[in-house]
Amino acid sequence: MRPLRLDLAGFTVFRDETTIDFTDADFFALVGPTGSGKSTVLDAICFALYGQVPRWGSSRGIANALAPSATEARVRLVFECAGARYVATRVVRRDGRGNVKTGNAGLQLMPAGFDVTKLDTGMSPDDLGEVLAGTPAEMEQAVLDAVGLPYEQFTSCVLLPQGQFADFLHAKPATRQQILINLLGLEVYEEIQKRAATRAMHADAQLTAVDQVLDGLTGAGDEHVAAADARADAMRALADAVESAVPALREAQQNAADAAAALTALDAEIAQLSAVRPPADVAAVARTVTEARAMAADAGTAVAAAEDGEEKLRAALTGAGDAAALRLRLQAHADRERLATEAAALTKGVAGAGSEHADAVAALDRARADAARTVEQLEAARRAYQEAQSADRAAALRAQLVAGAACPVCTQPVHTVPPTPAGSAVAAAEAAGHAARADNDAAQKVMAERERAARDLERVLDRARAQHEQLAARSAELDRQLADSPGPAVLRRELDAIAALQRELDDAGSAVRAAREAQRRAQAGVEMAEDRMRTAWREFDTARDRMARLGPPSADRDDVAAAWAALRDWTDAEVARRRADRVDAAGGVDTAQAAAGAAGERIATLFTAAGLTTPAGGADGAGYSRAAAVAVERAEAEQRRLTERREQARRLADQRAVHERDSQVAKALAGHLRANNFERWLLEEALDLLVDGASRILRDLSSGQYDLVHDKGEFYVVDHHDAGLRRAVRTLSGGETFQASLALALALSEQLAGMSTTAASLESIVLDEGFGTLDSATLDTVATTLESLAARGDRMVGVVTHVAALAERVPVRFEVRKDARTAHVERTGL
């Protein structure tokens, strides 16, 4: 895995959007003050791929990804693996309740030759290539397939976190062994052992199943197959013999069936002829028809006479006049008399209403005069009140007048002061005004009532006059209509004559209806009698038609009784003749049935000779043929079954050998892998290779002073400056411990790809360590080692340091600074 570009926004100290371009940075250093965010860059790379960071632990999890007070953090990493380019993206959000969750995660395979700088143009996720993972759950397997390393191996071989640099060096043997197992993927051998055991168990189960089937395949040897072949040949010979004998049986059965059918037909004809019987009342049917027709003719004559009388009365009624018009004219005479009475009464009412209206008008005039008088009195009282008020005010001023002085109102000299009145006239004037007001209100009320009464009487008088005019107009119209009327008495006589004619016409209509009902009943009697006649002829025709094939005599269509008598005489003669023929027919049936029985016995002998139960032959011998065919099919099916069972037994025997061999091989493999010797041997070989590579690097770093060895899982250093003394690694100083840890890390990174069972592509290594504990000579050695590792060109090498001497040796530097708001990264160097 080789990082190419890293984009951050809202991620821990990187609050603002930040882009780090690792293009062509084969050997780089992340430099800057302590706490500026150097290690956060590596955290972002690890988080984009795996969704977790070593130094976060599990206390808060992904909540550490959010910058303070930020609600969203975004990380996007573009990287290469084995020549392919990928882009990994993770977005973390905080919801309204403060819960932090991964809002989005994805991995995409970018098109070949994709220019990373195009990401600055605002491309959509759909433009970045094929989607390999679209959810956090899918990311783990997709990243493992792309990078080839799980999280634990990635943080031990590619990204070496701060504070864990010497963990592998100081780990206990059991812990170190487990780390190597995880890193080398040796758990695959445990999986192989489990699968081998499962395969062995499956092979044993199949072996048992095959044995059970073989146990059930007894009786399928060659001798059983030969016996089945012979049985099939015998059944085929039986079928051929039966097929040869069946035609004779069918012919004999057909002869017997024909004879029986002829006898049955003769019996049927005798029964049919004997069943012919004429109806009991056939002679009375003709008499009933004649009598009914005579009654119908008499009823028709009566209907014609009744209808003629009705027509004459209707003509007379038509000539007598229009009864409705006469009734209307008689009603008009009554209306004229009524209107005359109403007009007289209304004339009297109009006169009375006029008198009352005149009285109301006179009363209204008097009320208006009274109202005008009270108005004058009210006005006089108002003037008196005002004069009384003026007098009171003048009296009040007199107290201020002095003889010889100027008047305060008119400024004229006062010669003599008049005397002051003894009392005030205002109260009396006010009382008189109230009384005048009351009289005026009462007069106005009376006048209003008189006006309403006059108006009401005037409206009544107008309505009475209008009604009188309407009655006069209606009376004049009735006088015009009745100018030529003969008078009410004549009109009543004419109406009585018309009513009498109408009653006679109604009686004539009843007589017509009664005659027609009698005619209908007579006609119904004719139809019933004729229907009985037709029924008698239909019965005769039906009986004769049933005998048509026997040649009955012709019938006289004028006399049904004679026709029935002739048919009965013919049937009696035919029955006698057929009874004589039946004796010979019965003898022929017995002879034919005996011949058919003999043919059936010959076929039954064939089945008995073949060892089979004789089947029912059926009406045409098909039962024998069917039974023979079934016997052949069963014999051939048994022949095929035994042949197939013999072949199945042979195939199962071959399968059993395969299952037995598979079981033995799987058990042997599971047994070998079940012991710890194989895994122990692999771990020892891997540790030997790892220690050899680390010892070579440590020798360079320590200028030949130290070699690294191991014994029973423990690490030791051989101090060549102390006569080859072997010391435990825990006795090393801080600088020496760093050298040994760096040697192990580099060796592990170099050799893991060759030793691991996974398809890891270790194209980079990043060391997150301060290097501040090293002296200048060792620091120079470390720098030289890293430069040599980078110069090989097969991987990117990165370091995180705040040591200026080491940073100056690195060609590409990313300077990390942090202000009050966010961290910034600037690329310097080449």
The DSSP string of 444-512 is HHHHHHHHHHHHHHHHHHHHHHHHHHHHHHHHHHHHHHTTT---HHHHHHHHHHHHHHHHHHHHHHHHH
> Which of 628-632, 709-713, 748-752 shows the lowest mean pLDDT across its residues?
748-752
| Phi, psi values for residue 303, rounded to 5° | -65, -40
Encode 773-818 in three state secondary structure: CCCHHHHHHHHHHHHHHHHCCCCEEEEEECCHHHHHCCCEEEEEEE
**CA distance linking residue 715 with residue 732, whole number of Å:** 12
**CA distance linking residue 756 with residue 180, whole number of Å:** 9
> Mind listing the pLDDT tens digit for each residue in 483-526?
777 777 777 777 777 778 778 778 888 888 888 888 888 888 88
**CA distance linking residue 111 with residue 299, whole number of Å:** 116
The predicted structure's pLDDT at residue 557: 73
Average pLDDT on 371-394 reads 83
Average pLDDT on 742-748 reads 79
- Tell me if 106 sits within 8 A of 72, measured CB to CB: no
Q: Does the structure show a pLDDT above 60 at 538?
A: yes
Average pLDDT on 150-174 reads 72
DSSP-derived 3-state class of residue 430: helix
**CA distance linking residue 613 with residue 742, whole number of Å:** 99
Q: Does the structure show a pLDDT above 90 at 108?
A: yes
Specify which residues 823 forms β-bridges with.
Answer: 818
- pTM, two decimals, is 0.45
- Tell me if 85 sits within 8 A of 48, measured CB to CB: no
Token pair of 134, please?
A: 């679209």
Specify which residues 8 forms β-bridges with.
Answer: 18, 75
CA 495 to chain centre: 85
Q: Does the structure show a pLDDT above 80 at 749?
A: no
The predicted structure's pLDDT at residue 763: 80
Specify which residues 766 forms β-bridges with.
Answer: 159, 798
> Mind listing the pLDDT tens digit for each residue in 249-284?
777 777 878 888 888 888 887 887 887 777 777 777
Q: Does the structure show a pLDDT above 80 at 71?
A: yes
The predicted structure's pLDDT at residue 21: 93
- Tell me if 413 sits within 8 A of 405, measured CB to CB: yes
The predicted structure's pLDDT at residue 50: 92
Q: What is the pLDDT confidence band of residue 776, given thresholds at 50, 70 and 90? A: confident
**CA distance linking residue 414 with residue 119, whole number of Å:** 119
Residue 162 falls in which region: left (phi positive, over 0), alpha (psi -120 to 50) or beta: beta
- List strand residue ranges (DSSP E) for 37-156, in order: 72-81, 84-94, 100-109, 130-133
The predicted structure's pLDDT at residue 72: 93
CA-based torsion, 374, 377, 381, 387: positive or negative: positive
**CA distance linking residue 489 with residue 330, whole number of Å:** 9
Q: Does the structure show a pLDDT above 70 at 164?
A: no
The predicted structure's pLDDT at residue 112: 82
Token pair of 230, please?
A: 């012979």
| Phi, psi values for residue 741, rounded to 5° | -65, -40
Neighbours of 489 (CB within 10 A): 9
**CA distance linking residue 694 with residue 20, whole number of Å:** 32
Question: Residue 13 corresponds to which amino acid?
Answer: V
Average pLDDT on 429-449 reads 85
The predicted structure's pLDDT at residue 220: 64
Q: Tell how strand 812-818 and strand 27-31 pair up.
A: parallel
Check residues 787 and 121 and name the one with the higher pLDDT. Answer: 787
